[in-house]
Structure 1
Amino acid sequence: MRIWLVNTGEEIPSDTGKPRLLRTGIMAERLALRGHEVTWWNSTVNHQRKEQRASITTIADRPEGYKLVLLYGRLYAKNISLGRIVSQVQNAREFARVALTLPCPDIILCGYPPIELAEAAVRFAISRQIPVAIDFRDMWPDIIADHTSGLTRVAAIPALSYWNRSLRYTVRNATAILGVTDGFVDWALRRGGRPRGPLDRAFHLAINPTPPAQSDIRDAERFWDEMGVAPGGDHTIGCFAGTLSHRLDVKTLVRGAVQLPEAEKQRSRLVICGKGDQDEELRKLGRNERHILFAGWRTAAEIHVLLRRCHYGVLPYFSTADFIVHYPNKVGEYLGAGLPIMTGLTGQVRSLLEMRGLGYFYSEGNEASVAKCLKLISADRSSFATKQQRALEVYKELFDPERIYESFCLHLEHIAATASLQKDVASDHAMAL
């Protein structure tokens, strides 16, 4: 079977720093191993690092067994910016152009957003009578309302009108609506005005089931040893690793950590990995604090080792409409490392953590509440072993990548087979007439 995976927001295996594969990258490898002819459509822009991978649209065969198409888009500096929108429009136009030159797939799986590329994938699929599944991972453009106000929001009205029309078209014409939770699937169906069908399903985000190479792990262990993040000490160690965008409330986390009493600081380590729009401001907030470590963008092996040296993971997300119905990738990642989670996030995440006794909670935007929560975690070290076992059990139940990606692959194959059968029935009916 020929399968196209369309998603531009993830790193690829050849990117700088041995990156961690996410949802589409894992699916590309899994589907290729199942014997399918896979093409992954990505962008020339590495969204995480803000680096340009190629100066023109490029097609190459990957050693992992699939074809990679990098669609040209201009480089942009910020996640929320006109430059990014222009880049995404360029990606969509390049997809529409290049798709006509390649053998047609049997099915297309397209991540959402970006909205322009999703619409382009659906339009192409309809023109060739190809089944297309849209995988919803964000509530675009609804989240614009959470990040704009006043004149900025007024100025965004024409764009919002266009995006809303595009969203309705994409949902109404897609063969299947998928998502990272049932909340995302329901939201998409509601925005598109269509009922839920038998092919519409949710698949939780899950981390890459393939562990890093032992040589990379040894290098990572030396790195964290040199950084003073060592196992078996008296410090209570917490971490966050991800893009430091304004969609995350990392500033409140850092300010709360700064407020800790000096004796508590001596017993604590808070490790923040990643880069993004808030990077410089966060470093200024924590510049005089030895217990707060800004480690920059780290490799997959370094994150793997760090998590196994920590006592808890931090999920510093705002409780926006999209996040309260979401299990961000970090949830499964932390639980898979046996870590309880510190968060101010409400909704599905808090309900799960409360029910399973795996959460430490603070009030969103309240740095005093963060400081109080950090002290509580430090005083709760005797429960870490019990919580580790409980976290691993929840991970296996809800976020096991082996089970999730196996089901995801089977579902794509089912969608393609169903569409093929329907096409054959329609053809036979037409011939009978």
Structure 2
Amino acid sequence: MLVWILQTGEPLNCDGNQLRPMRAINLSKALVSRGHKVEIISTRFFHQEKRFRKNIKKNNITGIKETLVDSPGYKSNISVRRLFDHHILSFNLLINLLSRDEKPDIMFVGFPPIEWSLISICYSFLKSIPIVIDVKDLWPDIFWDKENINPVKKEFIKFLFLPYRIYSILIASLTDFITGPTELIAKYFKNNYQNKFLSKILKNQDPRTFPSPIVPPKEEERIKLDLIKSDPKECLNILFIGSLMSVYDFETIKKSIQILNNKKIKIKLFIAGRGGSENYIKDIFNHIENVYFLGWINRKEAIDISLNCHLALAPYKNIKNYELNLVNKYIDYMSLGLPILSPLEGFPYELINKYEIGWNYPPKSSSTLVRIIIDIIESPNKIKLRSENALRLFKTKYNFEIVYDQLVNKLEQITNNQ
């Protein structure tokens, strides 16, 4: 089976081993291990580092070919230049695909970018190639799906993004399968954007949905929970790891820490990561001495730090993109054996409740969060129990072998049924 993985915005094999693999690399290696051939089609412009990749021929791994599509690039994630880049990138992708003689058995396409996905969908339709759209984020909804947004402003933004909404309708109507970190987000995209008349006329079938969580790569180093951590009654250590963006509510965390400090309850918050809102988040915690910014850390450093922490923090704002999703931060925390503190409703709330892998707190309620933290400190056995639950859930449901075996099985099933 020949699989084309069309994915932008992620590290590739040609980028070396210093960057953590994501969907494209993990899926390609799982496919190759089962005897399949893979071509990863991506962009020469490296989104994460805002640079252009060089010649990659010598970096290819046996069974995996990597092809780069040119685009002008951009400096800011939120900019007209980025929109321009995506349109040029998609046009160049179209030229690249139309120039090919060989076609794959199946296409697996990362969504967003919308333009990239639309070109892939149109090509697969013209060539009668089965295609799976991998919805990681709800675009263009993410631009108006904000907390407490003014209804008039929301409708105006939706009007501005009308072309992208039309693109999404075409994508949802012409695809064969829609997947995502949860089936909820895949079904939401389908139900929100599929035009059933278009699907019936052009495809004569309804897109089917299935979940495919985004999980960490296989690792030699394993987390051990039998190591003795410091007593949380002496000082509770909380860890946040991730890109520092505007999607987090750190204001509530700040107020909670201030209340705890006034009560003379010892707590430390370690924030690891960088991002566009880094300076803003640092300003929030200005003059609070027990909050530490660690900068970017790699996986080994994350493991080392987690061994001295009791809890992990995931203070997302409540928007549909996260309420329906299982972001990789949750799975990363589970893999580290850290119970999760989260205000998210929806799927993450149910996951934490059902498997007892952490604590949910009401959004923007610093007083309730303080009560939860005090209860945690006074009942250290709860930390140990939920830490064990988190690691067990990761090993039994969200580890690399289980998730990618299921995904490869699904792709094989799709091609065998053609």
Q: Are the counterparts in 2 of residues 268 and 291 from structure 1 also a CA contact under 8 Å?
A: yes
Structure-2 separation of matches of 1:144 and 1:280: 22
Residue 168 of structure 1 pairs with residue 169 of structure 2 = yes
Structure-2 separation of matches of 1:28 and 1:128: 22
Q: Are the counterparts in 2 of residues 2 and 38 from structure 1 also a CA contact under 8 Å?
A: yes
**1:317 paired residue number:** 316
Structure-2 separation of matches of 1:81 and 1:255: 33
Structure-2 separation of matches of 1:318 and 1:366: 12
Q: CA deviation at 1:52?
A: 0.9
Q: Are the counterparts in 2 of residues 11 and 20 from structure 1 also a CA contact under 8 Å?
A: yes
Residue 26 of structure 1 pairs with residue 35 of structure 2 = no
Q: Which residue of the other structure, out of 68, 71, 80, is the alignment partner of 2:69?
A: 71
* Structure 2 stretches lacking a partner, 5+ long: 200-204
Q: Are the counterparts in 1 of residues 2 and 106 from structure 2 also a CA contact under 8 Å?
A: yes
How much is the aligned-residue C-alpha RMSD, in angstroms?
Answer: 3.0
Q: Give a deviation string over 1:79-130, Cα, whole Å, max 9, x none.
A: 3332332222232222112223443222110011111111011111122221
Q: CA deviation at 1:397?
A: 3.6
Q: CA deviation at 1:369?
A: 4.1
Residues 375 and 47 of structure 1: CA distance in aligned 2, closer, same or farther (over 3 Å): farther
Q: Are the counterparts in 2 of residues 48 and 243 from structure 1 also a CA contact under 8 Å?
A: no
**1:3 paired residue number:** 3
The one-letter code sitting in structure 1 at the alignment partner of 2:61 is P
The one-letter code sitting in structure 1 at the alignment partner of 2:253 is L
Q: CA deviation at 1:347?
A: 0.9
**2:202 paired residue number:** none
Larger mean Cα displacement after TM superposition, 348-357 or 142-151: 142-151
SS state of the match for residue 35, structure 1? coil
**1:422 paired residue number:** none
> 5 Å matches for 1:25-64?
25-49=25-49, 51-54=50-53, 61-63=59-61
Residues 73 and 246 of structure 1: CA distance in aligned 2, closer, same or farther (over 3 Å): farther
Overall identity of the aligned pairs, in %: 21
Structure-1 separation of matches of 2:242 and 2:329: 9
Q: Give a deviation string over 1:33-55, Cα, whole Å, max 9, x none.
A: 22222122233344334x21337
The one-letter code sitting in structure 2 at the alignment partner of 1:82 is V
Q: Are the counterparts in 1 of residues 13 and 61 from structure 2 also a CA contact under 8 Å?
A: no
Residues 155 and 64 of structure 1: CA distance in aligned 2, closer, same or farther (over 3 Å): farther
Q: Are the counterparts in 2 of residues 110 and 121 from structure 1 also a CA contact under 8 Å?
A: yes
Q: Are the counterparts in 2 of residues 257 and 370 from structure 1 also a CA contact under 8 Å?
A: no
Residues 305 and 379 of structure 1: CA distance in aligned 2, closer, same or farther (over 3 Å): same
Q: Are the counterparts in 1 of residues 334 and 393 from structure 2 also a CA contact under 8 Å?
A: yes
Residues 281 and 117 of structure 1: CA distance in aligned 2, closer, same or farther (over 3 Å): same
Residues 141 and 358 of structure 1: CA distance in aligned 2, closer, same or farther (over 3 Å): same
Structure-1 separation of matches of 2:44 and 2:365: 39
> 5 Å matches for 1:320-331?
320-331=319-330
Residues 72 and 292 of structure 1: CA distance in aligned 2, closer, same or farther (over 3 Å): farther
Q: Are the counterparts in 1 of residues 108 and 131 from structure 2 also a CA contact under 8 Å?
A: yes
Structure-2 separation of matches of 1:256 and 1:59: 52
Q: Normalising by structure 2, what TM-score?
A: 0.85
Q: Normalising by structure 1, what TM-score?
A: 0.83
Q: CA deviation at 1:352?
A: 2.0
Residues 304 and 92 of structure 1: CA distance in aligned 2, closer, same or farther (over 3 Å): farther
Residues 247 and 46 of structure 1: CA distance in aligned 2, closer, same or farther (over 3 Å): farther
Larger mean Cα displacement after TM superposition, 328-337 or 69-78: 69-78
Structure-2 separation of matches of 1:136 and 1:72: 23
Q: CA deviation at 1:161?
A: 1.4
Residues 349 and 239 of structure 1: CA distance in aligned 2, closer, same or farther (over 3 Å): same
Residue 301 of structure 1 pairs with residue 300 of structure 2 = yes
**1:389 paired residue number:** 388
* Structure 1 stretches lacking a partner, 5+ long: 218-229, 420-433
Q: Are the counterparts in 1 of residues 285 and 291 from structure 2 also a CA contact under 8 Å?
A: yes
Q: CA deviation at 1:394?
A: 2.2
Larger mean Cα displacement after TM superposition, 382-391 or 249-258: 249-258
SS state of the match for residue 146, structure 1? coil
Structure-1 separation of matches of 2:170 and 2:207: 20
Q: CA deviation at 1:62?
A: 2.4
> 5 Å matches for 1:199-218?
199-211=208-220
Structure-2 separation of matches of 1:288 and 1:149: 33
Structure-2 separation of matches of 1:60 and 1:39: 15
